[in-house]
A and B are shown apart, each in its own frame.
Chain A
C-alpha cells in the first residue's frame, strides 16, 4: 500500500549530539523491514522518527512520495505497536481498539465493523469487554496489534513488540505476526528488534544499524552469507563469526590467504593480482568449520572448553596470538575433544575476506 523513502535522514540532540546520520533507505510496498543493531544504535529512534514521535533534524522522510517531516503522527497514516503495548488501562479492549477511529470521527457502524474484523483475525472476540489488566501478556499483545489493524494504516511500526513475552509465547506470537503479514501482503511493516531470530524469520529485508548509520541492508540470507563488513559479519549469527588475520598469497577466482597462525584459508572470493600481499581478515562462521582430514587447514588449536547443547557441540579453542578465541560448532555430540589439538577447515564458499573491515565481495 505504501512506500517509504528516507533521504539523508539525521538526528541530533541539542544541535551537538549525533544519534543518526546519512540514513538512506527505500522501502517498497508490502515489505517487512526489520531494524536490528546493538543497543543504543538508534534503531528505536529511527522508528520513532518515522512515526513522528521524534523530530527529524536532517534529510527528508517521504511516505508515498509525500514529504512528511513536519506532519504530526496521526496524519502520517501509520500505526504503531509499542514494546509495552501502551494499552489504555482505563478502557476495555473494544474501546482501546476503537479509540483512534472515534477520534477520527468515523461512524459507529464503521467502527463496529473494523473492530469486529480485527477481533476475529486476532481471536480477541471473547475479550472485547475486558479491561487490559484482565488479559494475559499474549492477549495484550494481540490487542495492541488489533489497535493498529483497525486503523488500516499505510505503514505498521513495531517497536520490539515481543520483548515483554516469555520465550514460548514469543515464538507463538512471532509465527502469528508472520501469518498476519502473509494475510496482508500489501501492507508495509517496519519492525525493530534486538532478537536475531525474529529478524531472520520475519524480515523481507534487514537493516543493520551501527555507528550512527546503516551498516548493511539486505535479505536475511544476504546478511548471513555475504556480510558487507566485519560488523555485520559478527553481529548476525550466534556465536559470532571467527575472524583470523593473514595475508593474501594467491589471487584469482579463488583467493588463498596465509594466516598468521600458520594455517591456509581458501575463499571463493575473486581477487586481482594487485591484491597479493594485502593484509586481510578471514571470516568463518563457527558452524562452517569442520575437522580437516589431512591437507590444508585454517587453524590448528587445542580445544579449551566444550559445551554440549545436544544437537550441536560448541568448541572453544585456545587463543593464538592476537586473535580472539576461536569458536567451532560441530553437529552432534563430541565429548572427547577437550584438551586435544584439532585442525579445522571450511569450504571456500563459506569463507569471507575483509580488508579494512569491508568485505572483498563488495568491491
Chain B
C-alpha cells in the first residue's frame, strides 16, 4: 500500500480511535458500570470518578510503560547477553567496553560536551536575551538566532561542514586563514582535541536560541521596580545585570542548563554526520550507534551507561518538580 495513503488512514484511525476510546469508555463507566441512577446514584458517581482519571491516562501510561519503562529494564537485561542474544555473558559486555580505549575517548568527550555545550549556550543565551531586550529590532534578532532550532541536527551538520570545508573557496574558516593570514588551509575536523570543540559549536549554534528565548522571558518577568530601585541606588548596567537580574533568574538558568545537558547526552547526529566518530571525536550516543544491529549486547551496555549518567539530573528534576507542586 502506498505509504501516503497508509498515513492518511493512520491519522483517521488514530484520531478517531482515541475519541472512540474516550467516549466509549466514559459511557461504559457512567451508563453500565456505575449508572448515576437508582438508589446508589451518588455513590456510583463517586466510584465512577475514582476510575475516570485512569481511563483518561490509560493510553499514555500504556505507551510510556511499553516504550520507555520496559526498555530501561529490557536494555539492561539485553546488555548481559552476547552479540546474538542467546548466551548469558554477565557483565562481560561492560568489562570489554570499559577496557576499550574508544569507549574511554567517547566517555571523556561526552563529559566535555556535557560541560561545554550547556555552559556556553546558556551564557550566550543570557547575554543575547539581555542585549536584545533593549533593542528596537530585538525581536528580529532573536528570531534569527532562534532559527537553528528548526533545523535538524543533520541539516545543521551539513551547514557547518560547509563552513569547515578545507577548500578556501568553500569554507569560510579556511578562506579567512588563507586570504587574511596567508596560512595554508587545514581540515579543522582533524585537529586532535580541538575538533571536538568545533563539533560542539554546532550544537551551541542550535541551542543558544532555546536558552535565549526562555531566559529572555525570565528576565522580563523580573519586577521592573527592582531594576529601577537599583538604578536609583546608582548601579551601572553591568551591576544591574549581574547583581540584580541574574540572581533573580537563577532557577531558570538551572532549568535551561539541565535541559541542554540532557539533550547533549541524546544527540548523536552531529558526530555521526560530521566525522563518523573518527579523529577521536566519538561520543557515547554515536559510539552506541556503531554497535547497533551488529552487537546489541554492547549497544545496550552503552545505553545503560548513558542512562546512569543522566540519572542524577533526573532525580534533581523530580525533586524540583515536587517542590514546586507544594
Contact = CB atoms under 8 A, between A and B. Distances in A.
Interface string A71-83: 1100100000000
A54 interface: no
Contacts of B43: 70
Contacts of B36: 75
A280 B25 CA distance: 67
Contacts of A70: 42-43, 45-46
B29 to A, nearest CB: 14
A344 to B, nearest CB: 45
Interface residues of B, number: 7
A68 B42 CA distance: 8
A163 to B, nearest CB: 24
A196 B10 CA distance: 62
Point out which of B41, B42, B43, B45 has the most chain A C-beta atoms below 10 A from its C-beta: B42
Contacts of B42: 68, 70-72, 75
A7 B43 CA distance: 20
Interface string B35-70: 010000111011001000000000000000000000
Main secondary structure of the interface of A (DSSP, over half): loop
Interface in B256-300: none
A75 B45 CA distance: 10
Contacts of A68: 42
Contacts of B45: 70-72, 75
Contacts of A75: 36, 41-42, 45
Nearest to B44: A70
B292 to A, nearest CB: 47
Contacts of A72: 42, 45-46, 49
A75 B41 CA distance: 10
B41 to A, nearest CB: 8
B212 to A, nearest CB: 30
A98 B45 CA distance: 24
Contacts of A71: 42, 45
A132 B76 CA distance: 55
A71 B44 CA distance: 10
A68 B46 CA distance: 12
Contacts of B49: 72
A95 to B, nearest CB: 22
Contacts of B41: 75
A75 B48 CA distance: 15
Interface string A40-74: 00000000000000000000000000001011100
A274 B36 CA distance: 62
B326 to A, nearest CB: 13
Contacts of B46: 70, 72
Nearest to A76: B42
Q: Which of B41, B43, B49 has the most CB of A within 10 A?
A: B41
4 tightest A-B contacts by CB?
A70-B42, A71-B42, A72-B45, A70-B46
Given A72-B45, A72-B49, A75-B45, 12 more contacts: A68-B42, A70-B42, A70-B43, A70-B45, A70-B46, A71-B42, A71-B45, A72-B42, A72-B46, A75-B36, A75-B41, A75-B42
8 contacts: A68-B42, A70-B43, A70-B45, A71-B42, A72-B46, A72-B49, A75-B41, A75-B45
